[in-house]
Structure formats: C-alpha cells, structure tokens
Structure 1
C-alpha cells in the first residue's frame, strides 16, 4: 500500500483508566491501581444494582465486569462498594481536559467520551519532548501529579491508529503507552484474532466477516473492497480502510447537525399496569420534553409515543411494544402537547404491563412568532404560553424541583426522584 498521499500527523487517544472507580479511589485517599473498589448504581430500574465501573485490581481479583450485578459481588471485606457521583466525574473530566489544553489548544482537543479524548499534536508535540512517546509520558505524569489519576495513551499517524494502539497495546504495556504508524500497522495488527478485538468491529460484524472467510485484519486487507461493499454496504469500505490503518477524517471540520427532534425516555422502576400511574409518568416526560423544546425556541407539529412492554407481558407474544405518532397544530404549549400524547396513549394502550416509556417531538420549527389557534381565545393562549415560560425560568434559576405539578407526588411519578440523576445515575455531591 502506498501511503504517500495519506494524511499523516501525531495523534493521541488518551483514556482515563477505570475512570469512575479511579476518581472514587483518589477521593478516599487510595491508589487507583491497587485498591479493590467498584462503583455501583442502585437505582430501582437496575434490578438490584448494576456495576458501572471497577478498579483494575477489583477486575483482576474478583472477575468483575461492567455488567456484573449486585447479587454477583463476592463477600469480601477488602472490596469497597460506593454509589456513583456523576457530577464529580464530570468535574474531573473537565479538569483533565484543561490539562490537555496545555499541550494542544481547544481546536485540536476532541473529547470522545467522558473518559477518552483525542489530541492532535501534529504541530505542537516538539514543544514538549524529543518524541511523541516522551510527550505522552509527560501528559500522564502531569495528570497523575495534579489529580492522582492514571491515563493510558495510544499514539498514531492518524486517530484510528491511535485508538487501536490504545485498545490493543497501551493498556497492556508497563508504561501504559502504545504506538502505531503506517510502517508498523500491518506487522502488529494484522495477525490479531478474534477480529472483534479491533475498534469498531462488533460481534455481529465479525460474524458477517467470518462468512466471507475473514478472521483478522490481514485477511480483511487482502479482500476485494468491492466484494466487501456488496456484502456489508458502505461499512465494507470503512472496514477496508481500517484494515490498512487509513483514516482521512478531519476532526476539526465542523459538521452541521440537523435538528431532527427532541425526545426523552426512561426505564421504569417496576412494571406499570395501572392506567393512572402510566398517565402520570407519561405526562411528566411529555412536559419535560416540552420544556426542552421551549428552551431551544422551537415548536413541534408531530408527537410520538413509545411504550415498551415488560418481559412477562412480551413473553410468548409478537406484540412487545407500541410506537405511534400523530401530526398536530404547531405548538410548544404544555397542555396541547400532553393532550396529544395522551390521545395516542388512550387509543393504542390496551392494558399491557409497561416497563419503558418514551416521548418525542419532531417536525420542529422556530417559535419566534407564536402561532395561534383561530378557534380559541387568543388572550387565553398567550396567557398559557406565559405561564409555561415563567415555570421554565423558575426551574432554570432554582432547579428542576423548584416548581412541579401535583401529579408528580402521586403513585407512579418519577420526576422528583430522577431530578437528581445524571445520565440515569446519582449525581452525588461533588464536594462530599
């Protein structure tokens, strides 16, 4: 393969090792690499507790994974179990990225997730060391000294190489640094099996590749890309590029995001069968999405309701959920939106036990000018709009629970309990 025309730079993908668990270890004055600690969410909808993160030692000693349940935890006095504090993790993520900005400006620093960041150091790495690997170790040392956290670093000529170097080599090397380049990629990566160890190749894709006689990147690289396209669609071309360590993405190129709609969904803490309880939780979700709609100065002309049935309800039945939408007069008014969603609920729900609820609004338009219903009193419509606006402003200033509807106190309501969650888990007090 001739790489002479391919983009080449110095990229690092930096991962905060066992991030949530490491942050908790540091808060307790423990070494993140030697302490046995797990972060466990104990929300009602986790069926008894779910492990969100575990320290390297906990993984090694007790064979704990991020899908382990509370019931599977061993009884051991040395194992520390703590609840999640999502707000604290967000603060630490911001602090880590602030350190990264000392090595690359914001335009060349790309957060990939809460625990991974991509750095483009093509034009700056020489300011900080004699080699990219030396710069990586300097970044690691800075993060460790200031925050007590350990990081792993993958280095490559492009982001894909850096990510694969991180996943396959850095996490297993003593200095927690791995490096790939166009020159070394084939030798080091092509033989690795199973192929789903490679970033972006899941088990389903691996099964499809196996049907073509492909079990590693070397075999993938030697396959006709047009054959891959025939069997895998456009993904076939993408996989062929990965097999050769090629990545032509321009990370600093801004891609306009289409405003397709707003939605919210939740897994309920138990099966809901009572109609009134379902009406309460659906109303809460519909109003929450409506508030987000108004914050964005948008209106909707289409509402959608999704209800996922419980496992017991779905067993032996072809009907596992309902999903319906209806067009409405353009609005952002709470009462009109809740009414439209309730129409869908009453029309299509037939007494099934429900475990998942989702509400979405699509066909959005600007709400700079309010569209009035010609069949309703305009003064009443404007007054209702002002009430929604004032309620939104109170929540913005004093918090989500500063003002709420009485139905949230009724059986079935989840808004008050969920208001303190971040990403579905306890936000915690970052200053505990």
Structure 2
C-alpha cells in the first residue's frame, strides 16, 4: 500500500509525502482508475485483464493494500539452466559408445531436473573433438540446440539428444561432451503428449520417480540402465568419484556420501 501511495500521490505532492491507511482504501486505492497505475500491473497485463474481465486474488488483495508475501522466508535461487559435462580419459571413436554416454548423461540431467521440479524447453548438446583434431570444415567440435515441449522425462531427453547427435556427428574423434538444459519452467504437474498413450506417459513418470528415490537413498550408481554395462559406459565408474571428478554427478542425492574407494552395488535395468 505504501508503494501505491508513493506512485499515485506522494510523487505529485510538493512535500513528497502521502498518508494512506486501511480505512482510507475506498477513497484511495479504489479511486485508481487506470489499471496500469496499480502496483504489479503493466501495460500487457492490463490488456489481458481487460480482455478477460477479471482481477485475480492477488491483485484483489493488493487493491486492499494487502501483500501476503512472507519476508522472513528463505528464498532459494532457482537454476537458470541445468547441465552435465565430462572429459573422457581417452578419445572416443565409436559411435555406439558415444550414444551410450549420451544416454547416461540424459539420465543424469533428467534426475537433476526432477529433483528441482523443473522442466526443460531448450536442450543443447556440445561435442568437443580430440585435442588438435579438426574435421573437414576446420572445426574442433560443434554445439547445437533444439526447442522441445517442456519435459523432465529421461526418455524425452535421450531422444532429443540422440537426434542432435545423429544429425551433426560425422565420425569425428571425441574428447568431451556437454549437455545443457535451459529455458526452464518450474512445475510438478504432468503435461500429457497427445501423440502418446496417457497410461504409457504416466508409467514412464512413475519409473523415473522410483529411480530417483533409490538413487537419493543409495547413490546414483546404485541402479543404472543396462546400456551402462556396455563398452564405453561411464556412469558406473563416475558414480564412485567425488566432487568435480564426478563430472556432473555431484549434487545428485547420495553421490556426496561415496568416497573414491567405495564400491556400489550396481544393477542393470532394461
């Protein structure tokens, strides 16, 4: 209410003062004619409100000079992006092995997205070639991104990343890979895809959440997909590392409790 008094009266007074109280709301706040003069309403919002003919509960509260924000609540800064990157101990020259690593990274990023109750709308894949290696175009790697419907499902992320990889990878020697998810929205709701069976989508979400629960308690390496058992897989080896050596696993629940000598009881799932 003090903000409204400042913007709508005190700025126009010679002494730069205004006194608005709860009892004077009908004669002050209610007399604000243009919607744009109400705190929290901009030109675009005002246009939408006029079109819909509604005000909204928060704006209604503001009209009475009430702000229900709890100033003592600790604010947790939400991530602008969530990603994963790793440098290989050797150059990868086999396409199938690279696909295994990309699947693992999609799984790790998906776990972190669900932990944050975030969904990604812009997925990018970066491929760095072998040190000193350049392809036929003279480039030492590539970085491509694609926009997708909001999701945090491992299956969707895997499909998207493999599509980028298939399109731009031309049998180059690879030394590092990075995955990044940006343009995040924060919601725990499930937006169904009209082109897939609803039951299948719900089942996939439940599977991801079960994996998350197990990994939160026992560490990421406690349960991995079967492809991680194939040659080139890195998830199992990296799950026993600590700090930055985990290459993107650090921060996922359970990882911090494993030291470099710990042995996890890895299990493969199809």
TM-score of the aligned structures, taking structure 1 as reference length: 0.39
Contact persistence 1:261–1:361 (CA under 8 A): yes
**Quick one: distance in 2 between partners of 1:385 and 1:315?**
40
Match of 1:417 in 2: 237
1:290-335 Cα distance to aligned partner (Å, 9 max, x none):
1000001111111100000002423896301110000011111111
- The 8 Å contact of residues 306 and 358 in structure 1, kept in 2 or not, is answered as yes
- The answer to whether 1:340 aligns with 2:160 is yes
Is the 2:221–2:240 Cα contact (8 Å) retained in structure 1? no
Cα separation, partners in 2 of 1:314 and 1:419, compared to 1, 3 Å: same
Residue aligning to 1:404: 224
Shift of 1:402: 1.6
Pairing of 1:16-415 with structure 2 (within 5 A):
257=77, 259-314=79-134, 318-415=138-235
Distance 1:364 1:282, change over 3 A: same
CA distance in 2 between counterparts of 1:264 and 1:290 reads: 10
Q: How many residues align?
A: 177
Q: Which has the higher contact order (CA 8 A, sep 6+)?
A: 2
SS in structure 2 of the partner of residue 401 of structure 1: helix
5+ residue gaps, structure 2 = 1-73, 247-258, 263-270
Describe the superposition over 1:363-415 as per-residue Cα deviations: whole angstroms up to 9, x where unpaired. Answer: 11123211111121111111110000001101111221221111111111111
TM-score if structure 2 supplies the norm length?
A: 0.61
- The equivalent residue for 2:260 is 428
Q: Deviation of residue 256 (structure 1)? A: 7.2
Partners of 2:137 and 2:238 in 1: CA distance: 31
Deviation string for 1:97-148 (max 9, x for gaps)? Answer: xxxxxxxxxxxxxxxxxxxxxxxxxxxxxxxxxxxxxxxxxxxxxxxxxxxx
8 Å CA contact 1:281, 1:413 repeated in 2: yes
Secondary structure of 2:163's match? Answer: helix
**CA separation in 2, counterparts of 1:330 and 1:256?**
22
Q: Is the 8 A contact 1:418 1:424 kept in 2?
A: no
Query: Root-mean-square deviation (CA), in Å?
Result: 2.2
CA change 1:379–1:322 in 2 (3 A) is same
